[in-house]
C-alpha cells in the first residue's frame, strides 16, 4: 500500500474506531445500569421507527427521481416523434426550423436543436446554441431519446439531467443528424414535489402506526406480564399468580414462584403457631398471651368504658404431684386443667399456659370486677372437682390473681405483673382464693401500716431481740465473730422476718431508733461476754442506707462504745454493696470517719450489687462477705466456684478478709477452704441463736483447729 493510500485508510479507520467505541460505551451503559424492560422496548421501537422513517425518505427520493426521469424522457420522446416525422419529409435542414420552433414552445421544454453534417448545431430554438458542437458520451439510438449529460456549451450544468439526444435520418437528403431536446426538469420537479411529500407523509404515518401497533402488542404480551411478574415476586406473592401472565413461559414462572411463596408462608405460619403454642396443652404460651392482651387493650382503648380482665391461675402444690406421682401424671393434670379452662372460657376469651403450673385467661369484655371474680371462682371450682388420675383419686386446688384494664395498669406487662402480685396474695390466703390486685394493694397498705404501728410499739416496749450467728475462722475453726440479727416475735403474728419489717422501718424512718437499739444491745452484750471472760470476738451490726447517710451516725456509735466501755475493734458494721454505691463521696466520708475510730466495715451480700472496683479500692473496708447465692453453688462440679474464687482473689489483692455467708454443707466449707476463703458464716457453723445460747456456743468453741468430725456437730444451734 502506498503512503497516500495508507493515510486515507487510516483516516477512514478513525471515525470507525470512534463509532465502535460509542457502541461499546452504549452497550456497557445499557448492561451496567438498570433500564426497565419498558424503557428498553421503547428505545428499540424508537430506533426501528427512525430507521423506517429514514427508509421512507430514501424511497420517496428514489421514486421522485425515477418518475421525474420517466416524465422527462416521455416529454423528450413526444418532441422527438414530431421531429422524426418532419425529418422524413424534409428536403433541406431548414425545413425543420418551423418544427423545432414549434416543439420548443411546448410546455415543460426548454429548447430543441438539430446538428448539421459538421456536427455543429445547425437549427435551434435558442439562438445562443447555434453553431456550437455537441459532446455526447453515450452511444445514441436511432429515433429514441437517450439521457445525456447536460451540454455545458449550450448553457447546461453538466451532470444535471434534462438533456436527451437521438439520431435521425433524412431519407430525402440521404443524411443523418443528431437531435438534442432539453426538458425543463425544474418545472417538472416543482410539479412532482407535492406528490413526493404526500407519499413521504403516508409512508411515515404508516411506519408510526406500525410501530404503535407493535408496541401495544409487545406491551400486552411481554412487558405488562413481566412487570406484573416482577410486582408479584417483589411483593412476596401478594395478588394472584395468574395476574403475572397467560399460560406461557412467564405464566409458568409466576406459578412456580407462587407455589414457592405459598410453601414459605405456610411454613412461616406454622412456625409462628408453634412458637406461640404450648406443646403439652395446645394452649397459647406466655408470648401469645402477652400479644393477645396487647391486642385486646388496643381494641379496648378505641371503645370508651370497656374493661379487660386478666386472670392468672396457679395450681397449688403442683410440684408434689410431679414428685410423688411422676411427670406423666403432672402432664395429665396440666392437660386436664387446660381442658377445663378452655371449656369454661367464654367466646372471645384467651386461655394460655404462661408458666409451669400457671395459666392465664384474658377476658376482653368484662363489665366489672365482680364479674371477673365470679368467673375466676367458677374456674377454681371446676379445677377443684375431684378426678381420677390412674389409680389415684385427686382433688387439685388452685388460686387466682386478677387485674383489670385500665384501673390496675395500662399496659400488658404491668397488668401481668400486678396479676402475679395478686396471685401471691391469693396463695397466702390459701387454697381456692381469688384476689383482685386492688384488694391486694389495699391489703398491703393496711399491712404496712399495721407493721409500722406494731413495730413502733415493739421498739417502745422492748419487744425486739438480737440473735447472734457465729463467724468461724476457716483455718483454725475458732469463732472469731458474730453477726447480730434482729428478731421480732409479734404477739399475734408470731415471728416476723426482718426482710418484712426492715423495709417498712426504712420507709417510715423507724430504722434510725431501731439501729440505735441494735447497736446499743450488741455492744452491751459483747461487753458482758468479755466481762464473763469469754473469748473476745467482734460483733457485726447491719446498718441501713438511711443510717449511713445520717451525719450523727459516727457520734451515736462513738457514744454507744463509750457508754459500754467496748473497744471499737470489737464492733463491725455491715453495709451492702448497693448502699455504698449511692452518694459514694458522702458514704466514703462517713466510712472513713468510722474506720478512723477503729470500727471495722464489712461489705455485705458482695457480688449482688454493682460496685465499681475503682470505688472498692477507696472504701476503708475490712471484710467482704460473699453473698449466699454464690456460696450455694460453690461445691458444684461445673463452674460454681468461679465467682467465689474471683471475689476471694480480688479481696486478698486489696488486703481485705473474705467471709462466705450461707455455708450450709461440709462440701461448701471444704471448697471455700481450698479457695483460700478466710471465714465462714452459715448454718453449717451455727445458726443465728439467742444471746444465752450463743454464750454456750462461744464457751464451747474449740480453742484449736476444728477437726473435720466435729464440724457438723458444731453447726448446731437454734433455728431462727
Ligand atoms: P444479712 O445481713 O445478709 O444476714 C444474713 C441472713 O442470712 C440472715 O437472715 C441469716 O439468718 C441468714 N443465714 C445465715 N446463714 C444461713 C445459711 O446457712 N443458710 C440460709 N439459707 N440463710 C442463712 P435474717 O436474719 O432473716 O436477715 C435477713 C436480712 O435482714 C439480713 O441479711 C440483713 O440485711 C437484714 N437485717 C437483719 N438484722 C438487721 C438489723 O438489725 N438491722 C438492719 N438494718 N438489717 C438487718
Ligand atoms: Mg449482714
Ligand atoms: Mg448477707
Does the pLDDT of residue 246 top 80, yes or no? no
Q: Of 269, 268, 286, nearest to 277 (Cα)?
A: 286
Q: Domain 74-189 adopts which CATH fold?
A: Beta-Lactamase (3.30.450)
User: Which atom of ligand 1 lies at the shortest distance from residue 687's CA?
Assistant: 15
DSSP state of 665: S
Contacting residues for 478 by C-beta, under 8 A, at least 6 apart: 472, 535, 701, 702, 703, 704, 706
Ligand 1 contact via 686 beta carbon (within 6 Å): no
Per-residue model confidence (pLDDT) at position 713 = 36
| Domain ranges (residues) in the chain | 74-189, 242-275, 280-437, 484-492+509-678
- pLDDT band of 236, cuts 50, 70, 90: confident
User: Which atom of ligand 1 lies at the shortest distance from residue 466's CA?
Assistant: 41
CB 150 within 8 A of CB 137: no
Ligand 1 contact via 641 beta carbon (within 6 Å): no
For β-strands 538-542 and 479-490, DSSP reports them as parallel
Question: In angstroms, what is the span from residue 495 Cα to ligand 3's centroid?
Answer: 20
Per-residue model confidence (pLDDT) at position 610 = 63
- pLDDT band of 537, cuts 50, 70, 90: very high
Contacting residues for 131 by C-beta, under 8 A, at least 6 apart: 120, 121
| Cα–Cα distance measured from residue 56 to residue 47, given in angstroms and rounded to the nearest whole number | 14
Does the pLDDT of residue 303 top 90, yes or no? no
Per-residue model confidence (pLDDT) at position 167 = 92
Instruction: Write phi, then psi, for 436 (nearest 5 degrees).
Output: -85, 140
Q: What would the mean pLDDT of 336-365 be, rounded to a whole number?
A: 93
Ligand 1 contact via 668 beta carbon (within 6 Å): no
Listed range (36-40, 56-60, 591-595) with the worst mean pLDDT = 36-40
Per-residue model confidence (pLDDT) at position 244 = 53
Ligand 1 contact via 611 beta carbon (within 6 Å): no
Q: What would the mean pLDDT of 383-392 be, rounded to a whole number?
A: 86
Q: What would the mean pLDDT of 277-305 be, rounded to a whole number?
A: 90
Q: What would the mean pLDDT of 133-146 be, rounded to a whole number?
A: 90
**Each residue's pLDDT tens digit, 86-102:** 888 888 888 888 888 88
Per CATH, domain 484-492+509-678 is 3.40.50.300? no
- pLDDT band of 242, cuts 50, 70, 90: low
The helix/strand/coil state of 414 is: helix
Could you say which ligand is closest to the alpha carbon of residue 485?
Answer: 1
Chain centroid, CA 330 distance in Å: 40
Residue 15, all three cell numbers: 471515525
Question: In angstroms, what is the span from residue 653 Cα to ligand 3's centroid?
Answer: 22
Does the pLDDT of residue 136 top 70, yes or no? yes
User: Which atom of ligand 1 lies at the shortest distance from residue 497's CA?
Assistant: 26
DSSP state of 709: T
| Cα–Cα distance measured from residue 182 to residue 543, given in angstroms and rounded to the nearest whole number | 134
Best mutation site among 485, 624, 667 for ligand 1 pocket (most ligand atoms within 8 Å of CB):
485
Residue nearest to atom 37 of ligand 1 (CA): 485
Listed range (262-276, 609-623, 677-691) with the worst mean pLDDT = 609-623
- Of 56 and 392, more confident: 56
Distances from the Cα of 672 to the Cα of 303, 475, 576, 633, 637, angstroms: 62, 11, 21, 11, 13
- pLDDT band of 241, cuts 50, 70, 90: low
Could you say which ligand is closest to the alpha carbon of residue 662?
Answer: 1
| Cα–Cα distance measured from residue 623 to residue 657, given in angstroms and rounded to the nearest whole number | 5
CB atoms within 10 A of CB 595: 17
Per-residue model confidence (pLDDT) at position 185 = 87
Q: What would the mean pLDDT of 377-403 be, rounded to a whole number?
A: 90
Range list of H helices, 430-468: 437-460
Ligand 1 contact via 577 beta carbon (within 6 Å): no
| Cα–Cα distance measured from residue 401 to residue 419, given in angstroms and rounded to the nearest whole number | 5
| Cα–Cα distance measured from residue 498 to residue 517, given in angstroms and rounded to the nearest whole number | 15
Question: In angstroms, what is the span from residue 508 Cα to ligand 2's centroid?
Answer: 21
Question: In angstroms, what is the span from residue 542 Cα to ligand 1's centroid?
Answer: 9
| Cα–Cα distance measured from residue 263 to residue 59, given in angstroms and rounded to the nearest whole number | 60
Listed range (201-205, 389-393, 471-475, 673-677) with the worst mean pLDDT = 389-393
Ligand 1 contact via 63 beta carbon (within 6 Å): no
- pLDDT band of 24, cuts 50, 70, 90: confident
| Cα–Cα distance measured from residue 553 to residue 467, given in angstroms and rounded to the nearest whole number | 23
**Each residue's pLDDT tens digit, 475-502:** 999 999 999 999 998 888 788 889 889 9
Question: In angstroms, what is the span from residue 311 Cα to ligand 1's centroid?
Answer: 35
**Each residue's pLDDT tens digit, 670-690:** 999 999 999 999 999 999 999
Q: Considering the entire predicted model, what is its pTM?
A: 0.50
Residue nearest to atom 33 of ligand 1 (CA): 542
Cis omega (within 30 of 0) on the bond before 406? yes
Per-residue model confidence (pLDDT) at position 238 = 72
User: Which atom of ligand 1 lies at the shortest distance from residue 505's CA?
Assistant: 44
Q: What would the mean pLDDT of 14-27 be, rounded to a whole number?
A: 85
- pLDDT band of 625, cuts 50, 70, 90: very high
Listed range (65-79, 114-128, 440-454) with the worst mean pLDDT = 440-454
Region class of 689: left (phi > 0), else alpha (psi between -120 and 50), else beta: beta
Per-residue model confidence (pLDDT) at position 11 = 54
| Cα–Cα distance measured from residue 398 to residue 26, given in angstroms and rounded to the nearest whole number | 79
CB atoms within 10 A of CB 280: 13
Does the pLDDT of residue 439 top 80, yes or no? no
% of the chain surpassing 90 pLDDT: 45
- pLDDT band of 693, cuts 50, 70, 90: very high
Q: What would the mean pLDDT of 360-378 be, rounded to a whole number?
A: 91
Ligand 1 contact via 422 beta carbon (within 6 Å): no
- Of 119 and 243, more confident: 119
Ligand 1 contact via 486 beta carbon (within 6 Å): yes
Crossing angle for the helix pair 37-89 and 97-104, to the nearest 10 degrees? 150
Chain centroid, CA 3 distance in Å: 72
Per-residue model confidence (pLDDT) at position 30 = 67
- Of 650 and 579, more confident: 650
CB 146 within 8 A of CB 140: yes
CA dihedral 226, 232, 235, 237 (to 10 degrees): -150
Q: What would the mean pLDDT of 208-220 be, rounded to a whole number?
A: 90
CB 676 within 8 A of CB 652: yes
Question: In angstroms, what is the span from residue 184 Cα to ligand 2's centroid?
Answer: 130
Best mutation site among 542, 687, 689 for ligand 1 pocket (most ligand atoms within 8 Å of CB):
542
% of the chain surpassing 70 pLDDT: 93
- Classify domain 280-437 by CATH architecture: 2-Layer Sandwich (3.30)
Per-residue model confidence (pLDDT) at position 611 = 65
Per-residue model confidence (pLDDT) at position 690 = 96
- Of 246 and 49, more confident: 49
Per-residue model confidence (pLDDT) at position 245 = 56
Does the pLDDT of residue 224 top 50, yes or no? yes
The helix/strand/coil state of 622 is: coil
**Each residue's pLDDT tens digit, 412-433:** 999 999 999 999 989 888 888 9
| Cα–Cα distance measured from residue 149 to residue 161, given in angstroms and rounded to the nearest whole number | 7
User: Which atom of ligand 1 lies at the shortest distance from residue 541's CA?
Assistant: 41
**Average pLDDT of every residue of the chain:** 87
Helices H, strands E: what count in the chain?
24, 22
Amino acid at each position: 500500500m502506498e503512503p497516500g493510500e495508507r493515510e486515507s485508510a487510516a483516516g477512514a479507520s478513525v471515525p470507525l474506531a470512534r463509532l465502535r467505541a460509542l457502541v461499546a460505551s452504549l452497550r456497557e451503559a445499557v448492561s451496567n445500569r438498570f433500564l426497565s424492560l419498558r424503557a428498553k422496548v421503547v428505545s428499540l421501537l424508537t430506533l426501528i421507527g427512525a430507521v423506517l422513517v429514514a427508509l421512507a425518505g430514501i424511497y420517496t427520493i428514489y421514486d421522485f427521481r425515477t418518475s421525474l426521469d420517466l416524465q422527462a424522457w416521455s416529454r423528450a420522446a413526444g418532441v422527438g416523434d414530431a421531429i422524426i416525422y418532419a425529418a422524413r419529409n424534409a428536403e433541406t435542414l431548414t425545413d425543420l426550423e418551423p418544427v423545432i420552433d414549434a416543439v420548443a414552445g411546448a410546455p415543460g421544454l426548454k429548447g430543441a436543436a438539430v446538428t448539421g453534417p459538421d456536427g455543429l448545431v445547425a437549427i435551434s430554438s435558442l439562438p445562443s446554441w447555434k453553431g456550437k458542437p455537441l459532446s455526447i458520451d453515450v452511444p445514441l439510438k436511432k429515433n429514441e431519446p437517450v439521457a445525456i449529460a447536460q451540454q455545458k456549451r449550450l448553457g447546461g450544468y453538466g451532470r444535471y439531467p434534462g438533456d436527451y439526444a437521438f439520431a435521425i435520418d433524412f431519407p430525402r437528403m440521404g443524411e443523418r443528424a443528431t437531435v438534442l431536446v432539453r426538458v425543463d426538469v425544474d418545472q417538472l420537479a416543482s410539479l412532482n414535489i407535492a406528490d413526493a411529500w404526500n407519499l413521504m407523509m403516508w409512508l411515515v404515518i404508516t411506519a408510526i402506526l406500525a410501530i404503535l401497533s407493535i408496541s401495544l402488542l409487545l406491551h400486552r404480551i411481554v412487558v405488562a406480564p413481566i412487570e406484573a411478574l416482577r410486582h408479584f415476586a417483589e411483593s412476596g406473592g401478594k395478588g394472584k399468580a395468574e395476574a403475572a401472565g397467560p399460560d406461557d413461559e412467564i405464566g409458568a414462572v409466576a406459578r412456580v414462584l407462587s407455589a414457592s411463596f405459598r410453601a414459605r408462608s405456610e411454613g412461616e405460619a406454622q412456625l409462628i403457631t408453634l412458637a406461640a403454642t404450648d406443646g403439652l396443652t395446645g394452649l397459647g404460651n406466655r408470648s401469645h398471651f402477652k400479644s393477645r392482651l396487647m391486642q385486646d387493650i388496643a381494641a379496648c382503648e378505641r371503645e370508651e368504658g370497656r374493661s379487660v380482665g386478666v386472670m392468672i391461675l396457679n395450681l397449688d402444690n403442683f410440684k408434689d404431684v410431679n414428685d410423688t406421682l411422676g411427670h406423666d401424671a403432672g402432664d395429665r393434670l396440666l392437660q386436664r386443667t387446660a381442658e377445663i379452662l378452655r371449656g369454661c372460657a367464654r367466646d372471645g376469651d384467651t386461655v394460655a399456659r404462661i408458666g409451669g403450673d400457671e395459666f392465664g385467661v384474658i377476658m376482653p369484655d368484662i363489665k366489672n370486677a365482680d364479674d371477673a371474680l365470679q368467673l375466676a371462682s367458677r374456674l377454681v371450682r371446676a379445677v377443684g372437682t375431684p378426678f381420677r388420675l390412674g389409680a389415684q383419686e385427686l382433688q387439685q386446688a388452685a388460686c387466682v390473681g386478677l387485674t383489670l384494664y385500665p384501673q390496675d395498669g395500662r399496659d400488658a406487662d404491668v397488668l401481668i405483673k400486678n396479676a402475679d402480685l395478686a396471685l401471691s396474695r391469693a396463695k397466702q390466703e390459701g387454697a381456692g382464693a381469688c384476689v383482685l390486685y386492688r384488694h391486694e394493694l389495699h391489703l398491703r397498705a393496711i399491712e404496712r401500716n399495721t407493721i409500722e404501728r406494731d413495730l413502733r410499739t415493739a421498739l417502745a416496749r422492748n419487744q425486739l431481740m438480737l440473735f447472734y450467728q457465729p463467724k468461724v475462722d476457716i483455718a483454725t475453726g475458732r469463732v472469731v465473730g458474730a453477726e447480730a440479727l434482729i428478731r421480732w416475735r409479734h404477739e399475734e403474728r408470731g415471728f416476723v422476718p426482718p426482710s418484712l419489717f426492715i423495709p417498712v422501718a426504712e420507709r417510715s424512718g423507724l430504722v434510725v431508733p431501731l439501729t440505735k437499739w441494735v447497736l446499743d444491745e450488741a455492744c452491751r452484750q459483747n461487753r458482758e461476754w468479755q466481762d464473763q471472760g469469754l473469748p473476745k470476738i467482734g460483733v457485726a451490726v447491719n446498718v441501713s442506707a438511711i443510717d449511713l447517710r445520717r451525719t450523727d451516725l459516727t457520734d451515736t456509735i462513738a457514744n454507744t462504745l463509750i457508754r459500754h466501755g467496748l473497744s471499737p475493734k470489737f464492733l463491725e458494721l455491715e453495709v451492702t454493696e448497693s448502699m455504698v454505691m449511692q452518694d459514694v463521696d458522702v458514704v466514703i466520708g462517713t466510712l472513713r470517719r468510722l474506720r478512723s475510730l477503729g470500727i471495722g466495715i464489712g461489705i455485705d451480700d458482695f457480688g449482688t450489687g454493682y460496685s465499681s472496683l475503682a470505688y472498692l479500692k477507696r472504701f476503708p473496708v475490712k471484710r467482704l462477705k460473699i453473698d449466699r447465692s454464690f456460696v450455694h453453688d460453690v461445691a458444684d462440679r461445673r463452674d460454681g466456684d468461679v465467682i467465689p474464687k474471683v471475689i476471694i482473689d480480688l479481696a486478698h489483692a486489696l488486703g481485705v478478709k473474705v467471709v462466705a455467708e450461707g455455708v450450709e454443707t461440709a462440701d461448701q466449707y471444704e471448697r471455700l477452704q481450698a479457695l483460700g476463703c478466710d471465714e465462714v458464716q452459715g448454718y453449717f457453723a451455727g445458726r443465728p441463736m439467742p444471746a444465752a445460747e450463743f454464750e454456750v456456743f462461744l464457751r464451747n468453741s474449740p480453742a484449736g483447729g476444728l477437726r473435720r468430725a466435729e464440724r457438723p456437730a458444731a453447726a448446731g444451734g437454734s433455728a431462727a
